[in-house]
Amino acid sequence: MLIVFARHGETEYNCEGRLQGISDSPLTKKGIEQAKKLAKLAKTINVIQIFSSPATRCIETTKVIAKESNIPVTIINNLKEMCYGSWEGHKKSLLKADNLWQTRNKDKYNFVHPGEYEGLAGESYAIIYPRVANFLKKLIKGNKKDVILVISHLGVMRNTKRYFENCSEPEIIAYNPSNEEVYAVLINPKDHTSKIVTI
């Protein structure tokens, strides 16, 4: 089985340098073009199923891919990005003056973001890891020789790398894929061992 992971296309918040966890903003023209490139890739490698985060930016990305490739899409709550709490939607450049931002930089993987957003408390990369790992375990167990595309977020992709490569926390944070990069994993259907591949 081949699983290909990608972020949603570029959004307005991405361009503005805003924290975008469970808050949302539309895809830019570039983001739509990135989704079209993913659609071409999906056709080339014969993707049979797309799993997507419920975030609007991910759904917009998958709609472009599904329209181009006629591939079914399943929305998965465990693929949601982490919540940045009261920092949701704020510009990173303005938050850098906050002492908590400096604390965050010292241990970015485990830093729990302050406050709440729409009733949900701030989270860390470490907090969302169990739900990402749970999704991956079920995905691997439930498929044999399929080619799967997963559309999610930076935090989810970082934790996906942790799951498959057992990286250190600094290595996970250093992994910073763009909205155009993919992370591909080949799974042996017999023993579920994995291998990172280039496509």
Q: Which one of the listed residues 8, 10, 88, 153 is annotated catalytic?
A: 8
Task: Over range 56-61, report the average pLDDT.
Answer: 97
Query: What digits encode the pLDDT tens for the residues 136-179?
Result: 999 998 777 799 999 999 999 999 999 999 999 999 999 999 99
* Domain 2-197, CATH class in plain words: alpha beta
Q: Catalytic residue at 118?
A: no
Query: What digits encode the pLDDT tens for the residues 3-42?
Result: 999 999 999 999 999 999 999 999 999 999 999 999 999 9
Radius of gyration of the chain (CA): 17
What global pTM score does this model have? 0.96
Domain locations in the chain as residue ranges: 2-197
φ/ψ (deg, to 5) at 8: -60, 165
Q: Which one of the listed residues 81, 113, 123, 153 is annotated catalytic?
A: 81
What is the pLDDT of the chain when averaged over all its residues? 95
Query: What digits encode the pLDDT tens for the residues 71-100?
Result: 999 999 999 999 999 999 999 999 998 899
Predicted pLDDT of residue 99: 92
Highest-confidence segment of 63-72, 110-119, 137-146, 184-193: 110-119
Q: Catalytic residue at 81?
A: yes
